[in-house]
Amino acid sequence: MRKAIAIIILGLLLGGNAYSKGFDVKFREKNEYGAIILIKAPMLDGSYIQYSNALEKTRDMAVDHCKSFNKETYAFWSEKSDYFARDKNGKLYIDDGDAWHKSYGIVQDWHWKMLSYNFRYYCANSPKEAYGLLKKDDQLFKKKYKNRLNFANLFYSEINTNPFNFKSLSSAATSLPKTDPQKEKELEKFAKIEEYKKTCSAIGFELGTDKFTDCTLKLFVADNKETTQIVQSSSGAQEIIIRDPDRERRIGTKAFSDFVNGKCQINLLSKNPCQF
């Protein structure tokens, strides 16, 4: 009987080690303003409980860190379709056995970087102060962080009291800085490129190689058919032309305005021809 119990206990211990294998949670960067905490986990693998436990650990680490500065801990969220989405009660939309699942829900501020998931927390004395830190994040942390937040639909939560009590910032919109739509569009582009890179890494291409670059570019072209064009160069090689309709429209508008106001001429031989 004792031998049977020993075998069961040993099996549980071995199973537990295998269960947590590949999951590592640690600080990527921290200071008096907050912390970026990363989770290193198996690519496209892991269970609901593994991810849930790892995310809980990031919250505990962030709370302890902010307490050392006698501050509260805040996280920002937005409603969108993304990985690690939660319902309004805070439950992850992750099916056991299919942890890498993209859903529409409330998503925490996170970033993909070098095979790790990075989650950002702020140490502040009020939601407004925390939001101010979010808006000038590039000045607070040394390491680059491209957030995936949808600023048009932004929420915050007080991690040390109730991490899943999502509160809207819209009611305080008059006291908060306005977002730049153009900047938001650029951030979305960067987030997309990070997804392409992540996919190519998952396939097996190594970062920095020509094959990795080619893989990323092909995914970009496939996802942006309306703004990309493949042409044949004079040397016979194929070239990809990436169009930016908004930028072209701005350039055209400016050129027309310069022509109307006499700042340029239609004659291409002139020193200042109109660039339509």
Domain assignments of the chain as residue spans, ordered by start: 23-179
Question: For residue 232, which phi and psi values (nearest 5 degrees)?
Answer: -95, 125
Q: Is 59 helix (H, G, I), strand (E, B) or coil?
A: helix
* C-alpha dist (Å) from residue 141 to 78, 120, 144, 180, 194: 21, 11, 7, 21, 20
pLDDT at 174: 36
Residues of the chain under the 50 pLDDT cut: 1-20, 96-97, 99, 172-177
- DSSP annotation of 208: T
* C-alpha dist (Å) from residue 45 to 49, 105, 202: 12, 21, 11
The residue written with tokens 């031989």 in the block is 269
* C-alpha dist (Å) from residue 140 to 110, 156, 183: 16, 19, 19
Prediction pTM value:
0.56
pLDDT at 42: 67
**Cα–Cα dist 191/200, whole Å:** 15
pLDDT at 212: 84
pLDDT at 15: 40
Nearest CA among 88, 107, 111, 77 for reference residue 195: 111
pLDDT at 201: 85
